[in-house]
Amino acid sequence: MAPGDVRKIIHIDMDAFFASVEQRDAPELRGKPVAVGHGASRGVVAAASYEAREYGVRSAMPSVTAIRRCPELVFVRPRFDVYRAVSQQIHAIFAEYTDLIQPLSLDEAYLDVTENRMGLATAWATAKAIRARIREETGLTASAGISYNKFLAKLASDHRKPNGQFAVTPDMGADWVATLPVKRFHGVGPVTAAKMNRLGIETGADLRAQSMEFLQRHFGSSAQWYHAIARGEDDRPVNPNRTRKSSGSETTFRSDLTDPAEIEAGVLGQADSVWDWCEKAQRFGRTVTVKVKFADFRQITRSRSQPAPVRTQAALREASLALIRGVLPTQMGIRLVGVTVSNFPSEESGEELPLLGGAA
């Protein structure tokens, strides 16, 4: 791209992807409130159709809460093999328009279409063509955001959902950001948004009014990012070679557990699941994290990093057990446990992870 050229970035986001696939494949579910997940008392909603969202049903919501909000809710067990296959279809369509594709998940991705491979008049026309192809080939709808950077493109894709698109041009970017609540900004989570609100920062305009010194004092290393996005600025490239930074697995128990042996068995099961991925991908990380969610939904994590990657299943199991034993015993029941491996080195030394707990 020549100096001074404006990038053309599209963010494609499938509409209620998992639930829409289920409604596509089972016509009797169309028009009904659908939740992908498990409706049992220990279940969690993985995804919700737009009909279900009208009742306040959201992903990650306990199933009992979802049913309370929408008694007519229909639960469908997830079919991740099907979702992955459809995602591959969608990404094959992307690849016809650009090589610069950065997937964020099965159902969304950034595309840099600055190089106009298809000879379409505008990035708007490109996004429209991609959405039409997706609809034709999969029977599903997608929304798109078009802008000159990733931050604005992602914000824009939410603006006309479902089945719509919205463009933020260079001459409107900063002013448009100023009108939005900070809780909508990518990279500003609920905790940070609440902190900003306490500081009198409700909108992009409020954020832009703060000095860098103020932002550094209250938000530390994130200050520069907040200072930039408040002005509609984001120089991050669309990175098709972005590597996976972690692998994790978690499970929700059928009932709250307090027995250490049962809890440890659950952690070992998740460690084995993570190891399967590590072994197949030949990716070995240095940091092991155990996640615990208690019966009152309070959540904690415990992590430990090592100088060398975890290269055996036994070492991962040992590390996971050491971390969960730091939480046990517990009087409060445990609802969920998870294990994650992260901190994959770019050049691995081949050293074995030493056993935790002081073993030589």
Active site residues: 108
DSSP string of 307-348, one letter each residue: SS---SHHHHHHHHHHHHHTT-S-SSPEEEEEEEEE---SS-
Q: Would you say 61 and 85 are in contact if contact means Cβ atoms under 8 Å apart? A: no
* Integer Cα distance of 127 and 160 in angstroms: 13
* Integer Cα distance of 61 and 300 in angstroms: 18
Q: Would you say 40 and 31 are in contact if contact means Cβ atoms under 8 Å apart? A: no
**Residues 306, 243, 18, CA angle at the centre, nearest 5°?**
115
Q: How many residues does the chain have?
A: 360
Q: Provide CB contacts within 8 A for 72, sequence distance 6+.
A: 32, 33
**Environment class of residue 72 by beta-carbon count within 10 Å: exposed (0-12), middle (13-18) or buried (19+)?**
exposed
